[in-house]
């Protein structure tokens, strides 16, 4: 029996939740031949499964846009062929993918140690923009990244300092400076003696000391872009804070960084030297590989040169800035001061997003992206919407354990009409996102130059709103469980402050069978907290409305939050005054930043 609603359409709300239990032998089809065996192993490794059936879709097994890019790169590596994300969407099973890419072009050369290295080691594509931004204003903390941990128990501070130095020795990028040579940034890697002498390490006596470290910039041409602070918050409890400039680190680097520090401390506390597994390559090797294999964006015959043509066609003529309704005029120079709020995508809504994604051959990211584009269009009355999204840039397995700046930024452009159905927008977003992922090697800075985007100190170029949708199957179920190291317990905590690199950055983490934690970092130059709370509720309301009726017009989707709808009905009947604009107080599922002091910690910035 298929449940129907009053209009005779499928009633999605009445459908039972799918049961993705343990795969039975009847559901499992084993690989045949060396290629299927190798690709099945890659599928299982990327998805964190023991095995996969070669006839089951990658996306039915929990795959998403981020893991799809990783899978495409690693499948290409084992098959020795060029494999794109679009190939995976068109052929999402092991068997289909092996057949689809048979005879495809050769894969890119693997990332290996550069021997010998050039006299002037270039920076990576992603580092170039960080370098130019730092030259412009080295004191700005806008691109500081933080990792914090609470240490409970007996701490040996000398062992911890030595452990930090062990990690600096392990990752060359943490002892690298970036001077310019003839106007171009280069990497200068220093020895351990230099690193020990210049390590920015201090034990502070107040939270102000942590804040000072977090909010002070780096002169990356001369200084190590890494500093550490330690605060004894109370007897038997310490706060550890690592601050890095984005030129040497990204969000995915925080895991390897903290893991290596904990590993090194465990050894040093026992009087031993840590026995790390050797890194296959260093970050400098990766940067050299990019320039040698991917080439120069100005060379039309290079990999990135060919990809740049796509971005010129896709983004040419994009409006310079999307002006969201703000509480204050945009300043001439953005301060980068930010604040954050947390909100929750209810489990039922998250499951409906996943069901809709499966129905249309999408990912959850694409559904959320389309809904956010509708929201921005409704808020601004604009029909040309650009949303930025970060991509990890870590497709190759050898990059997984490394600290470094691998992330790139893609700009996803959507043209909307109020009468178009949400299902129609989903199809267009699917094509836009897949094309963007297929041309993701071009550095963001090269795209900005190629399309002639306005550069301003007041707003980010090309897109002022960023969206990140991450898959985190363990979130809420021990994703950041404390780790015991001898008599010390280490627990990851939220960093002390947020910086607004754009007007608004939204993060959603999908979690199987649970509510989805989400958060926003916003520019306090422009917005008040109450405005952002209302923004979050509008987003949830619109997501609910659009996914409930994907065949409905996007311009007719429910947009008002509950209080506004009730107040508007009263106002239109003469029973009440007009609703108060931007009044987000008491919105269910949305935590004010002040709630953090009460222990309601949630997702922070990317």
Where residue 223 sits, what CATH number does that domain have?
3.30.559.10
Tell me the two tokens of residue 399: 């990059």
Contact (Cβ atoms closer than 8 angstroms) between residue 467 and residue 387: yes
356 with 464, same domain?
Answer: yes
32 with 146, same domain?
Answer: no
* pLDDT at residue number 22: 52
Domain boundary among 260, 285, 310: 285
Counting residues of the chain whose pLDDT is more than 70, the rounded percentage is: 91
Where residue 63 sits, what CATH number does that domain have?
1.10.1200.10
Banded model confidence at residue 70, pLDDT cuts 50, 70, 90: confident
Report d(CA 359, CA 60) in Å as an integer.
11
Contact (Cβ atoms closer than 8 angstroms) between residue 428 and residue 414: yes
Q: Of residues 512 and 37, which shows the higher confidence score? A: 37
Q: Is the pLDDT of residue 133 over 90?
A: no
Report d(CA 67, CA 210) in Å as an integer.
35
State how beta strands 338-345 and 226-234 pair. unpaired
458 with 567, same domain?
Answer: yes
pLDDT by residue (tens digit) across 155-181?
A: 999 999 999 999 999 999 999 999 999
Look at residue 226 and tell me if it is in a domain.
Answer: yes
* pLDDT at residue number 577: 55
55 with 155, same domain?
Answer: no
Look at residue 115 and tell me if it is in a domain.
Answer: no
Across all residues in the chain, what is the average pLDDT?
Answer: 87
Look at residues 593, 465, 601 and name the one whose alpha carbon lies nearest to residue 526. Answer: 465
Contact (Cβ atoms closer than 8 angstroms) between residue 477 and residue 514: yes
Q: Is the pLDDT of residue 96 over 70?
A: yes
Where residue 425 sits, what CATH number does that domain have?
3.30.559.30
Look at residue 2 and tell me if it is in a domain.
Answer: no
Look at residues 195, 183, 267 and name the one whose alpha carbon lies nearest to residue 224. Answer: 195
Residue whose entry in the numeric block shows the structure tokens 């872009």: 225
For residue 583, give the 3-state DSSP assignment. Answer: coil
Q: Is the pLDDT of residue 429 over 70?
A: yes
- The mean pLDDT of 23-37, rounded to a whole number, is 78
Look at residue 113 and tell me if it is in a domain.
Answer: no
* pLDDT at residue number 563: 73
Contact (Cβ atoms closer than 8 angstroms) between residue 219 and residue 138: yes
Look at residue 487 and tell me if it is in a domain.
Answer: no
Q: Is the pLDDT of residue 185 over 70?
A: yes
Domain boundary among 285, 310, 333: 285
State how beta strands 200-204 and 184-189 pair. unpaired
Q: What is the Cβ-side half-sphere exposure of residue 404, based on CA atoms within 13 angstroms?
A: 28
Q: What is the Cβ-side half-sphere exposure of residue 497, based on CA atoms within 13 angstroms?
A: 24
Look at residue 109 and tell me if it is in a domain.
Answer: no
For residue 190, give the 3-state DSSP assignment. Answer: coil
- The mean pLDDT of 320-348, rounded to a whole number, is 93
Question: Counting beta carbons within 10 angstroms of the beta carbon of residue 452, is it exposed (0 to 12), middle (13 to 18) or buried (19 or more)?
Answer: exposed
150 with 188, same domain?
Answer: yes
How many domains is the chain built from? 3
383 with 453, same domain?
Answer: yes
Question: Counting beta carbons within 10 angstroms of the beta carbon of residue 83, is it exposed (0 to 12), middle (13 to 18) or buried (19 or more)?
Answer: buried
211: how many CB neighbours lie within 10 A of its CB? Answer: 15
Banded model confidence at residue 427, pLDDT cuts 50, 70, 90: very high
Banded model confidence at residue 579, pLDDT cuts 50, 70, 90: very low
Report d(CA 164, CA 227) in Å as an integer.
10
State how beta strands 237-245 and 338-345 pair. unpaired
Look at residue 95 and tell me if it is in a domain.
Answer: yes
Look at residue 277 and tell me if it is in a domain.
Answer: yes
327 with 465, same domain?
Answer: yes
201 with 255, same domain?
Answer: yes
Q: What is the DSSP string of 484-541?
A: EETTEEEEEE--S--B-SSSEEEEEEE-TTSPEEEEEEEETTT--HHHHHHHHHHHHH
Partners of 488 in beta bridges = 153, 485
Banded model confidence at residue 586, pLDDT cuts 50, 70, 90: very low
Tell me the two tokens of residue 382: 């604009």
Helices (H), 361-421: 364-380
Domain extent at residue 71: 12-100
pLDDT by residue (tens digit) across 135-154?
A: 888 888 889 999 999 999 99
Q: Cis bond leading into 313, ω under 30°?
A: no
* pLDDT at residue number 83: 86
545 with 456, same domain?
Answer: yes
Contact (Cβ atoms closer than 8 angstroms) between residue 386 and residue 318: yes
Q: Which of 104-108, 109-113, 540-544 has the highest mean pLDDT?
A: 540-544
415 with 554, same domain?
Answer: yes
Look at residues 314, 304, 380, 355 and name the one whose alpha carbon lies nearest to residue 547. Answer: 355
Domain boundary among 264, 285, 306: 285
Q: Is the pLDDT of residue 288 over 50?
A: yes
Pseudo-torsion of CA 116, 220, 495, 593, nearest 10°?
A: -130
Tell me the two tokens of residue 456: 């301003």
- The mean pLDDT of 362-370, rounded to a whole number, is 94
Q: Is the pLDDT of residue 202 over 60?
A: yes
392: how many CB neighbours lie within 10 A of its CB? Answer: 17
347 with 457, same domain?
Answer: yes
For residue 96, give the 3-state DSSP assignment. Answer: helix
The 10 Å CB-count burial string (b at 16+, else e) for 170-191 is: bbbbbbbbbeeeeeebbbebbe
* pLDDT at residue number 178: 96
249 with 153, same domain?
Answer: yes
């Amino acid at each position: 029996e298929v449940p129907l609603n009053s209009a005779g359409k499928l009633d999605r709300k009445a459908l039972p939740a799918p049961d993705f239990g343990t795969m039975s032998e009847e559901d499992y089809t084993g690989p045949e031949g060396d290629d299927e065996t190798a690709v099945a192993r890659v599928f299982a490794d990327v998805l964190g499964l023991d095995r996969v059936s070669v006839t089951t879709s990658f996306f039915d097994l929990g795959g998403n846009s981020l893991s799809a890019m990783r899978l495409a790169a690693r499948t290409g590596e084992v098959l020795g062929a060029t494999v794109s994300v679009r190939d995976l969407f068109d052929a999402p099973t092991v068997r289909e993918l092996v057949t689809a890419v048979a005879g495809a072009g050769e894969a890119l050369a693997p990332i290996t140690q550069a021997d010998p290295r050039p006299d002037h080691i270039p920076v990576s594509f992603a580092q170039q923009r960080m370098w130019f931004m730092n030259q412009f204003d080295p004191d700005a903390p806008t691109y500081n990244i933080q990792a914090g941990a609470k240490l409970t128990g007996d701490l040996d501070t000398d062992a911890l300092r030595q452990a930090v130095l062990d990690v600096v020795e392990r990752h060359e990028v943490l002892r690298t400076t970036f001077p310019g040579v003839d106007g171009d940034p280069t990497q200068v890697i220093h020895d351990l003696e230099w690193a020990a002498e210049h390590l920015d390490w201090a034990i502070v006596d107040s939270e102000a000391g942590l804040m000072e470290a977090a909010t002070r910039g780096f002169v990356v041409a001369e200084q190590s872009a890494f500093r550490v602070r330690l605060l004894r918050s109370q007897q038997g409890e310490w706060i550890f804070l690592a601050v890095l400039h984005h030129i040497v680190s990204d969000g995915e680097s925080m895991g390897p960084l903290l893991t290596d520090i904990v590993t090194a401390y465990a050894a040093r506390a026992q009087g031993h030297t840590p026995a790390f597994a050797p890194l296959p390559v260093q970050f400098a090797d990766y940067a050299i590989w990019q320039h040698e294999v991917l080439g120069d964006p100005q060379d039309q015959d290079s990999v990135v040169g060919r990809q740049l043509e796509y971005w010129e066609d896709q983004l040419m003529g994009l409006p310079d800035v999307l002006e969201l309704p703000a509480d204050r005029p945009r300043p001439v120079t953005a301060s980068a001061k930010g604040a954050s709020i947390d909100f929750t995508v209810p489990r039922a809504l998250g499951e409906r997003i996943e069901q809709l994604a499966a129905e249309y051959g999408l990912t959850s990211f694409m559904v959320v992206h389309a809904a956010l584009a509708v929201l921005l269009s409704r808020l601004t009355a604009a029909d040309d919407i650009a949303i930025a999204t970060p991509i990890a840039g870590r497709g190759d397995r050898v990059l997984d354990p490394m600290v470094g700046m691998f992330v790139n930024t893609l700009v996803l452009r959507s043209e909307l009409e109020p009468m178009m159905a949400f299902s129609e927008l989903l199809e267009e977003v699917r094509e836009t996102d897949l094309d963007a992922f297929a041309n993701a090697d071009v550095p963001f800075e090269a795209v900005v130059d190629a399309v002639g985007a306005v550069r301003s100190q007041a707003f980010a170029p090309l897109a002022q709103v960023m969206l990140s949708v991450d898959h985190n199957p363990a979130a809420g179920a021990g994703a950041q469980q404390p780790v015991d190291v001898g008599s010390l317990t280490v627990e990851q905590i939220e960093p002390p402050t947020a910086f607004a690199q754009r007007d608004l950055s939204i993060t959603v983490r999908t979690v199987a069978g649970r509510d989805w934690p989400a958060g926003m970092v916003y520019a306090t130059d422009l917005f008040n907290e109450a405005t952002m709370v209302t923004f979050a509720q509008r987003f949830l309301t619109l997501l609910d409305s659009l996914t409930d009726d994907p065949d409905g017009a996007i311009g007719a989707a429910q947009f008002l939050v509950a209080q506004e709808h009730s107040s508007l009905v009263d106002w239109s009947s003469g029973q009440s005054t007009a609703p108060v604009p931007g009044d987000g107080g008491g919105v269910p599922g949305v935590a004010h930043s002040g709630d953090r002091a009460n222990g309601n910690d949630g997702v922070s910035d990317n």
